[in-house]
Amino acid sequence: MTTPAFPVATIVGYPRIGRRRELKKAVEAYWAGKSTLAELEETASGLRQATRERLAELGLGRTDASIPETFSFYDQVLDVTAAVGAVPPRFAGFEGLDLYFTLARGIGDIAPLEMTKWFDTNYHYLVPEIGPDTAFSLSSRRIIDQFTQARAGGFVTRPAIVGPVTYLLLSKAADGAPEGFDPLDRLEDILPVYAELLAELAAAGAPWVQLDEPGLVTDNISVEPGVVSAAVTRAYEVLAGGQRPAIFVTSPFGDLRENFPVLAATGVEAIHVDLVHGGVPAAAPGLATKTLVGGVIDGHNIWAADLGAKFEQLEALTELGASAVSAATATSLQHVPHDTADEKWEDAELDANLHAWLAFADQKVVEVVTLSRGLTSGRGAIEDEITASQQALASRAAAAGVRVDAIRARTAALTEADFSRGDYDERAAAQAAKLGLPELPTTTIGSFPQTVEIRRARAAHARGELATEAYEAEMRAEIKRVIELQESIGLDVLVHGEAERNDMVQYFAELLDGFAVTTNGWVQSYGSRCTRPSILWGDVSRPEPMTVRWATYAQSLTPKPVKGMLTGPVTIMAWSFVRDDIPLGETANQLGLALRDEVNDLEAAGIGIIQVDEPALRELLPLRREDQPAYLDWSVGSFRLSTAGVRPETQIHTHLCYSEFGEVIGAIDGLDADVTSIEAARSRMEIVPELAAAGYARGVGPGVYDIHSPRVPSVDEVSELVALAAQGVPGNLLWINPDCGLKTRGYAETVPSLENLVAATRAVRNRE
């Protein structure tokens, strides 16, 4: 086989939800029965074609495989599950896209696949369930069809799929698999299906295929590194041996380290290295026949690059003796919004600054294309662009607000005592005396359904059509409704419901100094769900209280305790685009102090329980073990900083999303919260024995109601989970609550679910 040239400029992937979230709307309309399958397919294919056209307009080649096909109806890992037919038996009887969406969302009693974080991003993938008997066969032609469709539309693109090693590393052992079974044990069985897919792609005329192998850059996996390297060798020996397009393996999110020479020794034709999160590798045997693709442009953050520095990295790659070097993004651009041209900031100075400082997906494509021109024609050809990029960085460094001396002085003066609350047992006794809660206290995680009326009012207020006074009156009316509802359901610790919050991070970003928010900067979080990360560009401070009047209003309506509700520093950082010009720990302390002021104000206003949510605590956890202690130190520290200013009798709660906490159990302990609610329903309380084994001895609320699905859990189901939880958590420490906030749910399922939760709790209380 003669290898076609690898394109000199490419990207690992592109946002697929659509500039105006067209895919979200189309998919949700289909789910709601408001459109047909044919209409959904048509919208999707139109979007794919529009993406190709846009990328070509930005400078990627139309017919040289530089445009990757990274569309997905829901998730790229689920796409592989569908392609290789790894469907758990409970989904028997479903087919095509309906099977696909049922795997993602469940239906009736059929639980969906579990969802978990994609590396250190805020994107979630669906976890494949692989057992010893999972049958693999090529079961979907979508990947091939999309290539063929592109061709019909005048493009020769590059199909992209998650590679076999990463796919299995991200899988979990199916229920009933024997002890010691690891999905990677099935490598030999899945490879023929990948090989068949590759052969089909070759037959369809694809010159290149992209296999994404981010699993090779992380230590957060169940098997030893040596096992991974052996799997890489075997997988690419098999795949390179067959009928196939040229193979391009990507390694986003980190450094390939020991896997770089391993990949270089295989028969693949192009290897991607992430030079944003990793370094330039050492030369390795086998490179002479391969293209090295330098992932120099950050696909996970939104700052415009220093093109001079990026070009130097590419030049360093050319020293390694590869047959060619190309420019690319470090990761898929699915983690950044489409286009800064879609934004306009009200403040003229901020607007001008941010347009100069930021690069969203489209700007990043242009950066890659510019660098590739430097590779083909020499640095001189892009000197003007390099100079302009460096001037923008200099203006950013010097701009007002980027560095505020008073804020820096406050973080510099912090001492150990600012991070410590004192003895837990004393606190617990003071809290028990003050709060007088029943055994197994019931509560929710904070938000109640965001109804059409709430959204409409917010949109009208944002457009200036609804006066602030009228808007706030509506929000107060909503809070009153939610308080009354919780009282009638019989919950013990109430919440105000977060009606006034557009988003748990953006709400605070709008009220804190140092942040900007976007209008169209949507990024896919999972499936059809998108968030608009805020942009943290300057030093952070809190000009005035943010939540106190809402919390005190809610508390004024009820004798039961109302929890104050804040988003924690780590989560604000994880779900924003953060600065790359100062250490993350400094930003974390600035946020910690801003939130500490708010926590103290809530306490002073009579709020006795304050929850500081840290659902993203694990999200920023570095992928390599040696980097983790430093991260946990500043992240846990910033949470403690935000909560350590209160009296012992004030109860601090935190909430953490997701179930797999194994590696951060020490950190949960380190947060020193009095009560921690955790996602646990889908994993059937997996976390509980882990916490017990770790000797965790503060309040815990493992979720007993899976809010990610519209299903209403029965009283029996909830009781079963409560009983499971009670096996590992002493009665006086166990809290009963849903897995997460209810904002994405409707009242139709929320009310009966919470009623069942309370009924199940009461039944357990009465039994004793």
Please pick, from the candidates 54, 466, 741, 745, the single residue that binds ligand GLN as defined by CB under 6 A.
741
Binding string, residues 588-617; x marks residues near Zn ion by CB under 5 A: ---------------------------x--
Q: Does 482 bind ligand GLN (CB under 6 A)?
A: no
Q: Does 565 bind ligand GLN (CB under 6 A)?
A: yes
Tell me the β-bridge partners of 699.
Answer: 675
Tokens of 136: 């693999």
**Residue 550 known to bind ligand:** no
Tokens of 230: 């052996």
Which segment (56-64, 428-436, 482-490, 739-747) binds ligand GLN by CB under 6 A? 739-747
> Among ligand GLN, Zn ion, none, what does residue 637 contact (CB within 5–8 Å per kind)?
none
Question: Quick check: 704 and 687 in contact, CB under 8 A?
Answer: no
> Among ligand GLN, Zn ion, none, what does residue 505 contact (CB within 5–8 Å per kind)?
none
Tell me the β-bridge partners of 701.
Answer: 677
**Residue 655 known to bind ligand:** yes
CB atoms within 10 A of CB 56: 16
Please pick, from the candidates 343, 613, 660, 672, the single residue that binds ligand GLN as defined by CB under 6 A.
613
Touching ligand GLN, residues 501-530 (CB under 6 A)? 504
Could you tell me whether strands 124-126 and 115-117 are parallel, antiparallel, or unpaired per DSSP bridges?
A: antiparallel
Question: Quick check: 681 and 720 in contact, CB under 8 A?
Answer: no
User: Which residue shows structure tokens 């809402």?
Assistant: 550
CB atoms within 10 A of CB 731: 11
Nearer to ligand GLN, 389 or 567 (CB): 567
CB atoms within 10 A of CB 98: 14
Question: Quick check: 63 and 69 in contact, CB under 8 A?
Answer: no
Question: Quick check: 560 and 494 in contact, CB under 8 A?
Answer: yes
Q: Does 740 bind ligand GLN (CB under 6 A)?
A: yes
d(CA 568, CA 594): 10
Look up 300 and say whether it is catalytic: no
- According to DSSP, residue 110 is labeled B
d(CA 286, CA 295): 20
Nearer to ligand GLN, 195 or 609 (CB): 609
Q: Strand, helix or coil at 447?
A: strand
Touching ligand GLN, residues 635-664 (CB under 6 A)? 655, 657
The residue whose Cβ lies closest to ligand GLN is 741
Where are the alpha helices (H) located in 204-318, listed in sequence order? Answer: 225-241, 259-264, 307-318
Question: With DSSP H G I counted as helix, E B as strand and the rest as coil, what are the percentages for the chain, rounded to 5?
Answer: 45, 15, 40
Tokens of 32: 């709601």
Q: How many of the chain's residues bind ligand GLN (CB under 6 A)? A: 13
**Residue 679 known to bind ligand:** yes
> Among ligand GLN, Zn ion, none, what does residue 504 contact (CB within 5–8 Å per kind)?
ligand GLN
Tokens of 547: 């939540």
Alpha carbons within 13 angstroms on the beta-carbon side of residue 214 total: 22
Residues in the chain: 768
d(CA 250, CA 233): 15
CB atoms within 10 A of CB 530: 18
Binding string, residues 223-262; x marks residues near ligand GLN by CB under 6 A: ----------------------------------------
**Residue 445 known to bind ligand:** yes
Tell me the β-bridge partners of 273.
Answer: 294
Touching ligand GLN, residues 333-352 (CB under 6 A)? none
**Residue 530 known to bind ligand:** yes
> Among Zn ion, ligand GLN, none, what does residue 491 contact (CB within 5–8 Å per kind)?
none
Instruction: Give the shortest CB-678-to-Zn ion separation in angstroms.
Output: 9
User: Which residues are CB-contacts of 645 (< 8 A; sequence separation ≥ 6)?
Assistant: 418, 596, 599, 600
> Among ligand GLN, Zn ion, none, what does residue 364 contact (CB within 5–8 Å per kind)?
none
Nearer to ligand GLN, 117 or 186 (CB): 117
Tell me the β-bridge partners of 564.
Answer: 610
Nearer to Zn ion, 218 or 677 (CB): 677
Nearer to ligand GLN, 385 or 498 (CB): 498
Touching ligand GLN, residues 53-72 (CB under 6 A)? none
**Smallest Cα–Cα separation from 167: which of 76, 97, 91?**
76
Could you tell me whether strands 513-516 and 534-541 are parallel, antiparallel, or unpaired per DSSP bridges?
A: antiparallel
Instruction: Give the shortest CB-495-to-ligand GLN separation in angstroms.
Output: 8
Q: Strand, helix or coil at 539?
A: strand
Where are the alpha helices (H) located in 58-186, listed in sequence order? Answer: 76-84, 96-105, 142-152, 164-170
The residue whose Cβ lies closest to Zn ion is 740
Tokens of 340: 């800064």
Nearer to ligand GLN, 147 or 658 (CB): 658
Nearer to ligand GLN, 173 or 454 (CB): 454
The active-site residue, picked from 124, 272, 335, 708, is: 708
**Residue 529 known to bind ligand:** yes
Instruction: Give the shortest CB-522-to-ligand GLN separation in angstroms.
Output: 17
d(CA 427, CA 558): 24
Question: Cα–chain-centroid distance for residue 52?
Answer: 25
Please pick, from the candidates 447, 518, 659, 761, the single residue that binds ligand GLN as defined by CB under 6 A.
447
> Among ligand GLN, Zn ion, none, what does residue 565 contact (CB within 5–8 Å per kind)?
ligand GLN
Please pick, from the candidates 620, 657, 691, 724, the single residue that binds Zn ion as defined by CB under 5 A.
657
Which segment (53-61, 143-151, 394-402, 737-745) binds ligand GLN by CB under 6 A? 737-745
**Smallest Cα–Cα separation from 603: which of 649, 569, 637?**
649
d(CA 608, CA 28): 40
Touching Zn ion, residues 614-633 (CB under 5 A)? 615
Please pick, from the candidates 47, 743, 756, 764, the single residue that binds ligand GLN as defined by CB under 6 A.
743
Q: Does 445 bind ligand GLN (CB under 6 A)?
A: yes
Nearer to Zn ion, 674 or 706 (CB): 706
Q: Does 499 bind ligand GLN (CB under 6 A)?
A: no
User: Which residues are CB-contacts of 609 (< 8 A; sequence separation ≥ 6)?
Assistant: 435, 493, 561, 562, 563, 564, 650, 651, 652, 653
Instruction: Give the shortest CB-251-to-ligand GLN separation in angstroms.
Output: 30
**Smallest Cα–Cα separation from 361: which of 709, 18, 618?**
18
> Among Zn ion, ligand GLN, none, what does residue 743 contact (CB within 5–8 Å per kind)?
ligand GLN
By CB atoms closer than 10 A (0-12, 13-18, 19+), residue 230 is: middle
As a whole number of angstroms, the longest Cα–Cα distance in the chain is 80
> Among ligand GLN, Zn ion, none, what does residue 393 contact (CB within 5–8 Å per kind)?
none
**Residue 575 known to bind ligand:** yes
Q: Does 479 bind ligand GLN (CB under 6 A)?
A: no
**Residue 560 known to bind ligand:** no
> Among ligand GLN, Zn ion, none, what does residue 613 contact (CB within 5–8 Å per kind)?
ligand GLN
> Among Zn ion, ligand GLN, none, what does residue 446 contact (CB within 5–8 Å per kind)?
ligand GLN
Question: Quick check: 646 and 603 in contact, CB under 8 A?
Answer: yes
Nearer to Zn ion, 165 or 657 (CB): 657
Touching ligand GLN, residues 363-382 (CB under 6 A)? none
Question: Cα–chain-centroid distance for residue 616?
Answer: 8
Binding string, residues 726-755; x marks residues near Zn ion by CB under 5 A: --------------x---------------
Instruction: Give the shortest CB-592-to-ligand GLN separation in angstroms.
Output: 18
Instruction: Give the shortest CB-485-to-ligand GLN separation in angstroms.
Output: 15
Annotated binding site for Zn(2+): 655, 657, 679, 740
Give the residues lining the site for ligand GLN (CB under 6 A).
Answer: 445-447, 498, 504, 565, 613, 615, 655, 657, 740-741, 743
Annotated binding site for L-homocysteine: 445-447, 498, 613
Give the residues lining the site for Zn ion (CB under 5 A).
Answer: 615, 657, 740
List the catalytic residues. 708
